[in-house]
Amino acid sequence: MALHISAILQFLIFFLLILEVLFRNFFSTNLFWLEEAIIFFFVWSIYLGAVGLMKSDDHLKIILFKKNLKILKKIINIIFFIMAIYFSTIYTFNSYKVSLTSFNISMMYLVICLPVSFILMFFINLNNK
């Protein structure tokens, strides 16, 4: 599901980039909100794609621990995800007061993908063997 949403967002990015080029070259104008929309969709597609890749076990891996150290690997992963959830949540709440220029919404809606994706990855990690 996350990979499908990520793919849809990447298609929207492609469409918006073409739209931006067309408006800039043929109409000599700029749609000021397109750049922020592209950044918004890009960030969300990256983190949702990471969730999808972790679920399907197709992500890049650095193998440091052999099979006999699976418990240590699991503990290190749990500690990492708890720290990532904690610090990304703090970052999200601190970004509440900053607003995106074009949309006049809080930047929190952009960076909330961090704790959401880390929480999803945490539960995927708990279910993996």
Q: With H, G, I as helix, E, B as strand and everything else as coil, classify residue 121.
A: helix
Which amino acid, residue 32? F
Count how many domains the chain has. Answer: 1
By the 10 Å C-beta count (0-12 exposed, 13-18 middle, 19+ buried), 51 is classed as buried
Q: Mean pLDDT in runs of 10 for the chain (129 residues)?
A: 87 93 87 87 92 80 67 86 96 88 85 94 84
Domain that holds residue 95: 2-127
Distance between CA atoms of residues 20 and 22, nearest Å:
5
The confidence score (pLDDT) of residue 66 equals 62
Whole-prediction pTM: 0.82
User: To which residue do tokens 């597609």 refer?
Assistant: 45
